[in-house]
């Protein structure tokens, strides 16, 4: 039933646009969710597959532990007639799952075929809180749902990129300078733990980038440039220097 030309990653942009029009904040690849979306107190998950299969149902059922509603999303089939289609709908209804069909080339790229029913099972509040925290910790949607061959920009990785971009701006920096630029209270522990191997300690409280750190600034170039620019605006030392330069500048006398 699936359109073989479409990939999972092709389904994500129209799904994201559809949910954002409905007022959801959408993030791709959040913990185990292909797509997670939040609106107020409501949390939904969408699992993406190019075809309807048991793996899709297993993954969607796992998301029900933490989310209010779970949808599965597949490419729009050529036909919705026949026992296979009706059997799929009946199974999804019994499981309390919704169904979205996607055709990026269509004037209506996302169609809601089935909304989830209230399946009234106990929600895993710890898992739910972890998903919501991860969504809140990301400044924007830096991952595309359905893509799993590149490093994901988690909230932790995004904070590490911000620190690396700030260090890369001047070659090295102290933890105090970094915090003043807005890298957060976890800056020192993150530099000390150095989960990704991006940082090198050159003196007490002072760090530079390793080769891997410099490579990360290339890999996540757009995000690194964004934070390098933001840190330059927030750096109080830079603002003080600019102010002093302005005060020292003598007015140019005009010719009479």
Which part of the chain is CATH 3.40.50.10670? 8-137
- What's residue 75's pLDDT? 93
pLDDT in tens, 143-201: 666 655 557 788 889 899 999 999 998 899 999 999 998 888 999 999 999 999 999 99
pLDDT at residue 234 in the model: 56
Q: What is the pLDDT averaged over residues 16-30? A: 93
pLDDT at 237 over 90: no
Name the token pair of 22: 């409905």
pLDDT at 73 over 60: yes
Residues 68, 64: Cα–Cα separation, whole Å: 7
Question: Residue 129's pLDDT is what?
Answer: 84
Per-residue pLDDT band for 247 (boundaries 50, 70, 90) equals very low
pLDDT score at 78: 82
8-137 classified as CATH 3.40.50.10670: yes
Instruction: Read off the pLDDT of residues 30-60 as tens digits, 9 standing for 90 and up.
Output: 888 999 999 998 999 999 999 888 999 999 9
Starting at the earlier edge strand, list the strands of the sheet with 42-48: 25-30, 33-39, 42-48, 69-75, 98-102, 110-114
Q: Could you write out the DSSP letters of every residue in 41-101?
A: TEEEEEEE-SS--HHHHHHHHHHTTT-SEEEEEEEPPS---SHHHHHHHHHHHHHT-EEEE
* CA distances (Å), origin 18, targets 11, 22, 23, 31, 242: 11, 7, 9, 22, 45
Q: Is the pLDDT of residue 250 over 80?
A: no
**Is 196 within 8 Å of 157 (Cβ atoms)?**
yes
* Rounded CA separation 82/100 (Å): 18
Confidence of residue 203 (pLDDT cuts 50, 70, 90): very high
Q: What is the pTM of this model?
A: 0.58
pLDDT at 118 exceeding the cut of 70: no
């Amino acid at each position: 039933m699936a359109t073989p030309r479409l990939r999972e990653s092709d389904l994500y942009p129209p799904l994201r646009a559809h949910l954002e029009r409905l007022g959801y904040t959408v993030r791709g690849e959040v913990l185990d969710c292909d797509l997670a979306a939040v609106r107020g107190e409501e949390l939904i998950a969408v699992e993406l597959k190019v075809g309807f299969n048991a793996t899709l149902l297993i993954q969607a059922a796992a998301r029900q532990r933490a989310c209010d509603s779970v949808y599965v999303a597949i490419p729009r089939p050529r036909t919705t007639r026949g026992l296979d289609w009706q059997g799929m709908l009946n199974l999804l209804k019994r499981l309390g799952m919704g169904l979205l069909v996607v055709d990026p080339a269509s004037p209506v790229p996302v169609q809601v075929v089935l909304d989830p029913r209230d399946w009234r099972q106990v929600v895993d509040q710890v898992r739910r809180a972890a998903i919501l925290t991860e969504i809140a910790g990301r400044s924007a949607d830096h991952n595309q749902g359905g893509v799993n061959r590149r490093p994901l920009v988690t909230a932790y990785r995004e904070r590490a990129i911000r620190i690396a971009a700030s260090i890369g701006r001047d070659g090295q920096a102290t933890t105090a300078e970094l915090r003043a630029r807005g890298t957060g209270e976890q800056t020192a522990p993150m530099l000390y733990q150095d989960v990704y191997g991006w940082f090198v300690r050159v003196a007490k409280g002072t760090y530079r980038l390793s080769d891997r750190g410099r490579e990360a600034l290339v890999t996540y170039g757009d995000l690194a440039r964004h934070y390098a620019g933001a840190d330059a605006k927030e750096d109080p030392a830079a603002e003080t220097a600019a102010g002093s330069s302005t005060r020292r500048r003598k007015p140019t006398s005009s010719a009479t």
